[in-house]
Amino acid sequence: MTQLTSAQQTWIRRFHPAPGAAVRLVCFAHAGGSASFFVPVSARMAPAIDVFALQYPGRQDRRAEPNIDSIARLADAAFDALEGLLDRPTAFFGHSMGAVLAYEVALRFEAAGGAPLLRLYASGRRAPSRYREESLHQQGEQSIVAELRQLDGTGGELLDDPDTLAMIMPAIRNDYRAIETYRHTPGQALSCPVTAIIGDRDPRVSAAEARAWADHTAGPFDLRVFPGGHFYLVDQSSRLIQLIREDLTAAAASKA
């Protein structure tokens, strides 16, 4: 079993360790999200796939730590936490903000001379070079709550509880600042395959914006469209997990 250092344990949650798995999947959560979002994914993937879920600072058991409001700095920290842990064929899955973060971490691994990922799954997010003018992080709390309700990714009961809202709002606003101020560095691209996955009713990414992920890899690209909105992956979890399991099992077998 891969042993995590204390520093790595701060960042990485391994809910269902699968030491015998031939493949590892590292999961990156959305803005305001946490590692626990991927507990169901981890349970369904084990024991065939060993799942790591990143826990960003400023939330849940890391709530006392300062948030990181820059994708670049968050990627640097995540890279440091994961360094040495890509000791078997590995894929990244990131949803929304997590898709861009996973991409930036993957770039860092390739720049450091690491083996390319089996695949990057970029879920619910337009390509890094496709921007919309957004400034939600500068707006009032009610504007952010309205956005969260529209995207339907945070339980309504949490948003209705003032104490809970006060607890989670700093991380949410921080993450929106990070992703809304992010700008891709031109000329950078991955060499691994990239799969973009979106919901067909997602107001935050169009099919054209998702297809532009093809510009960010020299490897194969494909786009998958599922029924649903920004958090299509909740209702479509069975289909999504089946897709990833089949992809990664076949990819690992081809490298055996």
Q: Which residues are catalytic?
A: 96
How far apart CA 55 and CA 209 sit, in angstroms, is 27
Cα(170)–Cα(243) distance, integer angstroms: 34
**Both structure tokens of 10:** 């701060």
Q: Please tell me whether residue 202 adopts helix, strand or coil conformation.
A: coil
Q: What are phi and psi of 103, to 5 degrees?
A: -60, -45
Are 179 and 100 contacting, i.e. CB atoms less than 8 angstroms apart?
yes
Strand-pairing partners, residue 13, are 53
Reduced to 3 states (helix: H, G, I; strand: E, B; else coil), residue 22 is coil
Helix (H) or strand (E) holding 13: strand 12-13
**β-sheet bridge partners, residue 29:** none
